Amino acid sequence: MQDKLPNDSLASLYPQHLAMLRQHADKALALAGFDHLLIAAGMPGIKFLDDNHYPYAVSPQFKYWLPLTSAPGSWIAYTPGAKPKLIFLQPRDYWHVVPDGPSGYWVDAFEIVIVRSAEEAVAQLPKGNAAVIGEATAAAGGIEINNPRIVLDYLHYHRACKTPYELELMREASRIGTRAHRAAERAFRLGESELGIHQAYLAAAGQIDAELPYSSIVALNEHGAVLHYMEFTRTPPQPARSLLIDAGASASGYASDITRTYAAADASEFQALIDSMDASQQSQVAMVRSGRDYAELHLHAHHQLADTLNQHGFIRMSAEAAVESGVTRAFFPHGLGHSIGLQVHDVAGFARNAHGETIARPDGHPYLRLTRTLEPGMVVTIEPGLYFIDMLLQELREKPVSRDIDWARVDAFRRYGGIRIEDDVVCTADAPENLTRDAFARY
């Protein structure tokens, strides 16, 4: 299956994108001393003690080069100075749908060879000293997957900055995702269950679960306090006080990652808290600027959360004391965000440079996924949270700082679970581009 073009501009943007990939591949291969770059599309895994497969997920490195998201057993072969080659597996198979032959705006950029078996595909690969990227399951016909660290470090580091072609696809992923989020909110207002809300989301997105970039989180009431809640209860709670939905969409293999929190019509205090978190989140988005240390932005979000907790009567201490004592971490235990692109949690979030050196997380913040300095072309999520998580609140109750917390007020809000608001944001040479808010403005 090949994804539909979101618009005609991709045809004009793709050649520049491919030229950049070739430049990066040339440099990575020279650094590591390889003559060829071979990229496996991958194969679906087989379930344990079964003959059924897990849903297929194409290798991110493969879909970086071309917009094929369903090409199991296929390969890209690139030799510097030569036209890249696509070895496309189109098997003789009456059990499954056989992929259509390659077509679209990108095909003229490749030498395309169609084969009928995985062994034939491997036979078409160039012989010699090659960097072979893929999962071990892609090995066939004597090919050895080596995933050289020098090559991957270099390619992953540069993948953080998106080309105009990639940004166009990410805008489309955001449009699909926000359209589906609108449908999910309507389903919540109509009293649907978590499963019903999720089904409304899928229908509006026009994608099945396996096509989404990650498993959706649809959490009603207290379930919003479980950061990766994925249960999908079938019966709606009575009453449904709140919805936290974290769900994205895909466009030619590129992801959107969007979270919204909604309050029931009669939950005015919780809505006021959502409004405060939304204002903080938008101010954080405005700080996505070239040259800014993302880890500093994460720490700034903790100070803003402390102000919100004070404003709404949860704590009686300064913002500095709330951050230094760990109080804000009990209410906001995850990182502010991450890189996003070909993967929802994109690679090289800690990279200091293209040679494998890394930047450590700030002390006491083990779940932050991004510590890099922002550059134009980077796309990051901004997703502050405020949660009422029983385990973390119990730990906080046992600390001396507990006396500066209004526990009656905290307990009154536990029934709402929590709040997360997440946008996908492009760092530019000037003001950031908010892919998510721009898309919501359309639907």
Region 99-115: mean pLDDT is 95
pLDDT band at 97 (very low <50, low <70, confident <90, very high): confident
- Alpha carbon separation from 116 to 74, 90, 126, 347, 353 (Å, rounded): 10, 5, 18, 33, 41
Region 20-45: mean pLDDT is 96
Report the residue count for the chain: 443
Distance CA 278, CA 413 (A): 17
User: Is 217:247 a contact under the CB 8 Å cutoff?
Assistant: yes
Nearest in space to 139 (alpha carbons), one of 185, 58, 80, 73? 73
Tell me the one-letter amino acid at 335: G
- Alpha carbon separation from 45 to 54, 70, 117, 137, 230 (Å, rounded): 5, 14, 17, 8, 22
Q: Is 131 helix (H, G, I), strand (E, B) or coil?
A: strand
Higher-confidence residue: 143 or 276? Answer: 276
Query: What six digits make up the tokens of 192?
Result: 């649907």
- pLDDT, residue 367, reads 95
Task: Determine the Cα angle at 319 with ends 316 and 320, to 5°.
Answer: 120
Query: pLDDT tens for residues 233-269?
Result: 999 999 999 999 999 999 999 999 999 999 999 999 9
Query: What six digits make up the tokens of 297?
Result: 């932005």
- pLDDT, residue 7, reads 56
Cis omega (within 30 of 0) on the bond before 91?
Answer: no
Q: What element of type H or E holds 27?
A: helix 9-32
Query: What six digits make up the tokens of 244?
Result: 């936290």
Provide the strand spans (E) within 146-252. Answer: 217-220, 242-247, 250-251
- Residue 1: pLDDT above 60? no
Distance CA 295, CA 163 (A): 24
Give the chain's domains with CATH numbers: 9-159 (3.40.350.10), 164-440 (3.90.230.10)
How do strand 242-247 and strand 258-263 relate by DSSP bridges?
antiparallel
Region 396-415: mean pLDDT is 97
- Residue 390: pLDDT above 90? yes
Average pLDDT, the chain: 95
Distance CA 220, CA 415 (A): 10
Lowest mean pLDDT among 22-36, 114-128, 185-199, 242-256: 114-128
Nearest in space to 99 (alpha carbons), one of 116, 124, 78? 116
Backbone φ and ψ for 275, nearest 5 degrees, come out as -60, -40
Distance CA 375, CA 160 (A): 9
Query: pLDDT tens for residues 263-321?
Result: 999 999 999 999 999 999 999 999 999 999 999 999 999 999 999 999 999 999 999 99
Listing DSSP states for 272-319 in one string gives HHHHHHHHHHHHHHHT--TT-BHHHHHHHHHHHHHHHHHHTTSB-S-H
Q: Is 222 helix (H, G, I), strand (E, B) or coil?
A: helix
Q: Bridge partners of 351?
A: 358
- Residue 5: pLDDT above 50? no
* Neighbouring residues of 432: CB distance < 8 A, sequence distance ≥ 6: 285, 286, 288, 289, 425, 426
Q: What element of type H or E holds 194?
A: helix 194-205
- pLDDT, residue 96, reads 83
Place of tokens 């270099």: 154
Q: What element of type H or E holds 152?
A: helix 149-159
Tell me the one-letter amino acid at 256: S
- pLDDT, residue 137, reads 73
Question: How many CB atoms neighbour CB 91 within 10 A?
Answer: 16
How would you write 354-396 as a 3-class SS string?
CCCCECCCCCCCCCCCCCCECCCCEEEEECCEEECCHHHHHHH
